[in-house]
């Protein structure tokens, strides 16, 4: 019955696969765990879930070609734009993340005074919230009535994927430190104290971390107890299909590489009980693996959801959106890509960004059923 729910949902909302004689080779046999997929927003993007209030902060592309930050209820109702026409730069605003108190949202804003972006589609791509070049960190009140700029980067520098610690006292993000892109740029981890005093939000005691001297760090957030961080990293000279998932202990500095498969491994998040990590990966999906930003813009990655134990053991694929043998498969040119997501309290429900084909972005609610 659960598989029927998944099939019907995918047919009505995303259009399921037609086999056409295709049987891609897979490195892992799949027993799909997808129960249902519900589209909450068309053109929706990166998300953050405030569990106790049932609110989703997300970014969404507007008719002007730029993203703004919105908030909605978990059922997709009550949509409100928080950055439209507000005292914040009116280019890209996105990648929102809730403060655990529910009083603030941190996000990225493209700075109109910063220059040096590449021409054409690549320049548009790297300035978007998903890459963050010429972006600064801002924070606003939950109702969008007050705004504070937290960082001031230089031309062709930028920030990416901010996350508050579970107690709200620290802020974590990635920051590019070189104006030379070298396909993926040169990044570091930033960790700072976050405070609101006398009605002013600010960051202090900013630390710069470069564990293992990687070229790229993309932050995915803290462990539930706030002692560890999850991120994707790329070794020097690599590209996005060299992304691996890492776990770092902030107290000891101990690093654990959780994946090692030369695939696109990204967006890793703990379940709230701290027992599992869910992430997205290109493993086992036949596709063109580009080696430049132009390649990525033209052929964005096809990805699936995976789950593993916190030590990296017992890796299992959860979805088959790009697998013609899976009930939730979606047969569309460009396949299905999976972006930023947030896990619900039960560990089996997520709100996520999903890319359908080469251009359509959706905010979706997914339900899984798997053994723990």
> pLDDT tens-digit profile of 103-161?
999 999 999 999 999 888 888 889 999 999 999 999 999 999 999 999 999 999 999 99
Q: Decide which of 359 and 353 is more confident.
A: 353
Provide the β-strand partners of residue 140.
Answer: 105, 147
Distance from C-alpha of 217 to C-alpha of 160, rounded to nearest angstrom: 9
3-state secondary structure of 331: coil
- Between residues 293 and 370, the one the model is more confident about: 370
Residue 281 in tokens: 């990966």
Mean pLDDT of 319-331: 94
Q: How confident is the model at residue 181 (pLDDT cuts 50, 70, 90)?
A: low
200 exposure class (CB count in 10 Å sphere: 0-12, 13-18, 19+): exposed
Cα→Cα distances 138→82, 107, 278, 305, 318, Å: 13, 5, 28, 30, 35
Task: State the pLDDT confidence band at 166, using cuts at 50, 70 and 90.
Answer: very high
Q: What is the pLDDT of residue 11?
A: 36
Domains in the chain and their CATH numbers?
A: 24-321+331-368 (2.120.10.30)
Distance CA 49, CA 138 (A): 18
Give the model confidence (pLDDT) of 225-281 as tens digits: 999 999 999 999 999 999 999 999 999 999 999 999 989 999 999 999 999 999 999
- Confidence grade of residue 213 (pLDDT, cut at 50, 70, 90): very high
């Amino acid at each position: 019955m659960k598989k029927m729910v998944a099939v019907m949902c995918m047919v009505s909302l995303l259009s399921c696969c037609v086999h056409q004689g295709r049987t891609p080779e897979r490195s892992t046999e799949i027993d799909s765990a997808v129960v249902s997929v519900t589209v909450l927003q068309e053109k929706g993007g990166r998300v953050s879930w405030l569990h106790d209030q049932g609110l989703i902060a997300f970014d969404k592309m507007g008719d002007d070609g730029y993203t703004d930050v919105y908030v909605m209820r978990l059922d997709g109702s009550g949509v409100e734009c928080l950055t439209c026409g507000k005292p914040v730069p009116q280019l890209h605003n996105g990648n929102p993340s809730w403060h655990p108190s529910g009083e603030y949202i941190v996000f990225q804003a493209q700075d109109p005074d910063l220059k040096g972006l590449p021409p054409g589609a690549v320049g548009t791509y790297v300035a978007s919230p998903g890459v963050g070049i010429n972006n600064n960190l801002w924070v606003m009140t939950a109702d969008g009535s007050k705004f504070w700029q937290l960082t001031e980067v230089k031309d062709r520098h930028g920030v990416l994927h901010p996350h508050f610690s579970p107690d709200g006292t620290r802020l974590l993000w990635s920051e590019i430190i070189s104006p030379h892109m070298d396909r993926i740029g040169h990044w570091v981890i930033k960790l700072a104290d976050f405070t609101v005093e006398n009605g002013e939000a600010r960051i202090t005691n900013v630390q710069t971390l470069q564990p293992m001297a990687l070229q790229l760090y993309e932050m995915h957030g803290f462990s539930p107890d706030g002692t560890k961080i999850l991120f994707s990293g790329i070794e020097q000279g690599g590209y996005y299909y060299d992304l691996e998932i890492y776990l770092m202990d902030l107290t000891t500095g101990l690093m654990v590489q959780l994946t090692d498969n030369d695939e696109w491994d990204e967006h890793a998040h703990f379940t709230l009980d701290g027992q599992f990590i869910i992430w997205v990966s290109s493993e086992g999906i036949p596709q063109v693996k580009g080696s430049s930003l132009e390649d990525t813009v033209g052929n964005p990655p096809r990805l699936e959801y995976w789950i593993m134990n916190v030590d990296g053991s017992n890796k299992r694929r959860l979805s088959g959106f790009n697998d013609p043998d899976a009930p939730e498969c979606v047969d569309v040119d460009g396949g299905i890509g999976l972006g930023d997501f947030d896990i619900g309290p039960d560990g089996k429900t997520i709100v996520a960004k999903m890319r359908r084909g080469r251009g359509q972005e959706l905010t979706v609610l997914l339900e899984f059923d798997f053994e723990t």
